[in-house]
Amino acid sequence: MSAVTGRRVSVVVGALVADAAAQPLHWLYNEEKLKSIIGDKEEVEFWEPSQNPFYRIPVGRHTCYGDQAYVILKSLVDKKGVDCEALKAATYDWFGPKSDYEDPENARYTVGKEDKVNVKPTLPISRPWRHGSIKHFLSNMEAKKEDTGSEDDDQIDCVLRMVPVCALYAGRPEMLDRVEDVLRVTQNSDTAVAMGLAAARILEQFILHGDSGEVLEKVLSDLSSNSRQNPQELDRAVAGHLRQVQKCLNVDHHTAVTKNFRKD
């Protein structure tokens, strides 16, 4: 296995394992509650028993984000590349009304109005959690719309969804095209697409060249170029946010988030 092939495999395996490792502590928004659970322990992966306030599933299973990446990965293998119609069908089967994701309590949460800080006393459910973009996608599929992606959802799905696509197409001229195709299956939001494509640009650099120390500078240059591939209106805004992150590289994550990025 070449170094580049090894990195292609590693980014997919790493993303899926990390997702499963975080699942038992997923969506714990109350920082004091989280501290009371983990204390001063540094190894919190695959925490048992699960403390997830919204849903409880066996430790080792993926979150809704990891499940999306898995469905994409399997579709890429089955179809030997991106096939959006096949991916739509596979995603509907995995998350739809006949899946393990169907739950009446989860259905009561209206997309865009979830209060994830003040958790309902009827939670957690004993099934995986179907969240905003997937709810929109299912509705659009049932309405037989050609564009199935949510036009309103800007959540982090985009960053994990692009991983298997980028791993397959990194180094090929159509990489960003294929990433955008897959992103818009469930997130047809310009913000989500711009963020997902920026993440794909970053990941491609690591896959092809390893940690050269110049990845962010290369991507920032690409996002600011008038001749860039797959230009998005929000590219320069994304570049601005990346520069803010760049300034915090030597600051611990908690401090960086609370002082520079948290919105109260």
Q: Could you read off the pLDDT of 181-237 as tens digits, one per residue?
A: 999 999 999 999 999 999 999 999 999 999 888 899 999 999 999 999 999 999 999
Domain ranges in the chain? 3-261
Homologous superfamily in CATH for domain 3-261: ADP-ribosylation/Crystallin J1 (1.10.4080.10)
Confidence grade of residue 113 (pLDDT, cut at 50, 70, 90): low
Q: What is the mean pLDDT of the chain?
A: 93
pTM of the model: 0.92
Q: Give per-residue pLDDT as tens, 45-67.
A: 999 999 999 999 999 999 999 99
The count of other CB atoms within 10 Å of the CB of residue 186 is 29
d(CA 21, CA 150): 27
d(CA 249, CA 245): 7
d(CA 107, CA 129): 10
